[in-house]
């Protein structure tokens, strides 16, 4: 692959990573602060906090750390591509698992919460993905961004001459 294409793909994947990290911070950070303030009250009532805000912020920090660590020669380009690919796929798989298990009801003795968005759960994974694209288009766009980033990481991992070890 020529240098110009590789540079373009690096820029595209960097933009996609920034978009997904920005979304995860936008959604997770304020909720994380609320849960941190309410931790004692929730624990006193036996209600586990929603783990997603903490996971979203951790995910965003991890994906944003990649470019920084590469530019400081702490992580090789190849390892960064591998980590980016794994993180993007993991985010998608975790999203599907969350929705297929009744919004985390799997982790508690509580029933699955009702949703206000009008989407349904159960059935096939493809139905869940499609249903969220229709009823929660922002989630659909973010999942598309993540899967596109994963695909570009795979292409770069295979074709970027600077990522060969």
Taking only the tens place, the pLDDT of each residue in 17-60 is: 999 999 999 999 999 999 888 887 877 787 777 788 999 999 99
Reported as half-sphere exposure (CB side, CA atoms, 13 A), residue 25 has a value of 11
Taking only the tens place, the pLDDT of each residue in 85-140 is: 999 999 999 988 888 777 666 555 555 445 455 555 556 778 877 888 888 889 88
Residue with tokens 């994380």: 32
Reading the block at residue 118, the tokens are: 């009008």
Contact 69, 34 (CB under 8 A): no
Reported as half-sphere exposure (CB side, CA atoms, 13 A), residue 124 has a value of 3
Contact 11, 64 (CB under 8 A): no
């Amino acid at each position: 692959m020529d240098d110009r294409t590789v540079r373009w793909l690096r820029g595209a994947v960097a933009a996609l990573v920034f978009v997904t990290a920005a979304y995860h911070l936008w959604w997770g950070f304020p909720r994380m602060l609320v849960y941190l303030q309410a931790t004692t009250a929730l624990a006193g009532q036996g209600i586990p906090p929603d783990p997603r805000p903490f996971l979203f912020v951790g995910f965003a920090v991890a994906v944003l750390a990649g470019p920084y660590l590469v530019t400081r020669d702490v992580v090789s380009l190849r390892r960064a591509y591998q980590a980016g690919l794994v993180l993007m796929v993991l985010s998608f798989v975790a999203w599907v698992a969350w929705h297929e298990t009744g919004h985390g009801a799997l982790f508690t003795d509580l029933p699955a919460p009702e949703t206000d968005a009008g989407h349904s759960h159960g059935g096939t994974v493809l139905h869940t993905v499609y249903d969220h694209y229709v009823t929660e288009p922002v989630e659909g766009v973010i999942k598309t961004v993540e899967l596109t980033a994963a695909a570009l990481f795979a292409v770069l991992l295979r074709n970027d001459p600077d990522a060969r070890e």
